[in-house]
Amino acid sequence: MAFESFSEFLAMGTHGPYVWSVYGITGVFLVGMVLQTLSAKKKQLKRLHSILVKDVSEREK
Amino acid sequence: MNWTWFHKFGSPKWFFQWADKWGKLIFYIGIALFLVGLVLGLGFAPEDYQQGNSVRIIYIHVPAAMLAQSCYLALGVAGIVFMVWQMKMAPIFMKAMAPIGAVMAFLALMSGAIWGKPTWGTWWVWDARLTSVLILFLMYLGIVAIQNSFDDTKLADKAAAIIAIIGLINLPIIKYSVEWWNSLHQPATFVIGEKPSMPSEMWVPLLFSVLGFYCIVTALVCWRMQTELLIRERRASWVKKEVTKHGV
Amino acid sequence: MTYLSFLKSELLAVFYRKQDTINALAFFLIVITLFPLGVNPSADFLEPAAGGIVWCAASLAILLSVESLFKEDFNDGSLEQLIASGLYLPITILIKLVIQWCAVIVPLLLLIPLFSQMLFLPWSIVHVLIFTLLLGSPALFLVGTIGAALTVSLKRGAVLVLLIILPFYLPVIIFATGAISAAQAGQDYSGQLAILGAISLLSLALSPGMSAVSIKASMN
């Protein structure tokens, strides 16, 4: 362990704000990228599914 | 050498199913590696005698910078594959990869700038590394712009491939020229992220975090390629089968 | 159509479009004027910065003039004729490019002594600036052509061309201004000139073929 206590860990010497802001911004971007990727895939699947359902019901008519 | 695996990746249907099977696994492995790297790097790695605890930014900065470079390399190679063999999957790969590479370059720039404040005393220094990542970021923006500027997908694919190939040829020239330019204007006192001898407590977490980043990006690219495939091949019968299989 | 008749018609076209050359030079002059007004008009600033200012202005002016290289031919259909004519496309592109280079760079070089005095560049350095322009500008033209060929079918492609091509201009600008500042410091600058020439030759080897592929992709 490089730190004695949790508050020391948060403070990172005097560099806490720098280290944590980098990790925070990176986290936001990574999560955002994952969410955007997954939602885009889901949206496209949903769209194709609704088209497919429409096609099938039209054929049955 | 057996090239069947290569041809398999050229088949949209085969790739879609492969990505369905392996995407999640790669993603979770990546997250696990990344978290291990973070815990080791934030909690256990020793602080630097010069830079103090700000050195812990390395576990973001170096993987992001490495990914930014490898992604561009991959874009260029995919561009060549597309122009030479007309492989259908190559532009799909490029379309999925380019925005992610841009984000990686941005993360490398952001972490470098924030790291610069405690180390150099300013948010930005025209240091050779930061400058070449900045140029790389601009090149990504160009590729993303060209991918989104054409209504005709075929033309957009070709244009992006040609620009990526030129970029690939230019990358070493730009890197060399920026390093030379940097040595003219300011003799480097000490360079961010580069240590003559890094103790193993530092490079082991770095290795974990780099591998984690690679896996996460691989999984993301697989998923984005699936989306792109669903858009481009929407009339193919295998897509219809996949859509019914996935349900909603 | 033969190469000779193509050359003749292109020369005539450049002659009739004198305004394009004048525009490029005027643009160059405006960019140069921005620096003394926007930053500092004193010789202390301008003398060391002159090489960089001239090169920034030149690369923007060159890229903007190259950007429209195929536009008119595309709009009036003569580009399609050219592809169908059976002439080897990379060579015709090269012919077009050489003519464009002569139309923009030759007058620019003639005016460089004047411009360099506006930026307080010493007379003993002016010939270095001219050498860098002679050796470096072909690369800028050649690389820019690829961008122009790719975006020929776009209505508003100018900003896109600037965005995708300018990063590739950076090495040329770095070595050109490096040569000029080396000359100002009284050092040997032949290495930088050699690199500029090498970049231009590399572009000459790759650009016409790539531009031809790009044009063919844009046409259908």
Span B51-74, pLDDT tens digits: 777 778 888 998 999 999 999 999
Which pLDDT does position B214 carry in this prediction?
A: 94
- Region A3-14 average pLDDT: 72
Check whether B191 has a pLDDT greater than 60: no
Enumerate neighbours of C (3 or more CB pairs within 8 A). Answer: B
Within 198-217 of B, beta carbons closer than 8 Å to A belong to: 216
| Interaxial angle between packed helices B89-120 and B58-85, expressed in degrees from 0 to 180 and rounded to the nearest 10 | 150
Q: Which of B45-49, B136-140, C162-166 has the lowest mean pLDDT?
A: B45-49
pLDDT at A18: 85
> Which of the two residues, C1 and C30, has the higher pLDDT score?
C30
Residue position matching structure tokens 């002159």: C50
Report the pLDDT averaged over residues B175-189: 74
Q: What is the ipTM of this complex?
A: 0.89
Q: Give the residue with greater pLDDT, B247 vs B37.
A: B37
In contact, C214 and B162? CB cutoff 8 Å: yes
CA C94 to chain B, closest CA, distance in angstroms equals 18
pLDDT at C207: 93
Contact A45 B243 (CB under 8 A): yes
- Is a pLDDT exceeding 90 seen at residue C68? no
- Looking up tokens 């984005």, which residue turns up? B224
Confidence (pLDDT) at B3: 73
C window 8-37, beta carbon within 8 A of B: none
Touching B (3+ Cβ pairs <8 A), the chains are: A, C
Task: Tell me which chain B residues have a C-beta less than 8 angstroms from the C-beta of C175.
Answer: 177, 180
pLDDT at position B93 is 94
Contacts of B87 (CB under 8 A, 6+ apart): B10, B81
Does residue C93 or residue A55 have the better pLDDT?
C93
**Per-residue pLDDT band at A27 (split at 50, 70, 90):** very high
Which of residues 156 through 215 in chain C touch B, CB cutoff 8 A? 157, 160, 163-168, 170-171, 174-175, 178, 181, 199, 202, 206, 210, 213-214
Give the least confident one: B47-61, B190-204, C53-67: B190-204
pLDDT at B186: 58
Closest CA to A48 of B239, B43, B37, C72: B239
- What per-residue confidence (pLDDT) applies to B196? 52
Phi-psi region of B48 (alpha: psi -120 to 50; beta: other; left: phi over 0): beta
pLDDT band at B34 (very low <50, low <70, confident <90, very high): very high
- At residue B185 the predicted structure's pLDDT band, cuts being 50, 70 and 90, is low
Of C46, B217, B213, which is closest to residue A33 (Cα–Cα)? B217
The confidence score (pLDDT) of residue B195 equals 55
Question: For residue B98, what pLDDT is reported?
Answer: 94
Q: Express each pLDDT in B219-235 by its tens digit.
A: 999 999 999 998 888 88
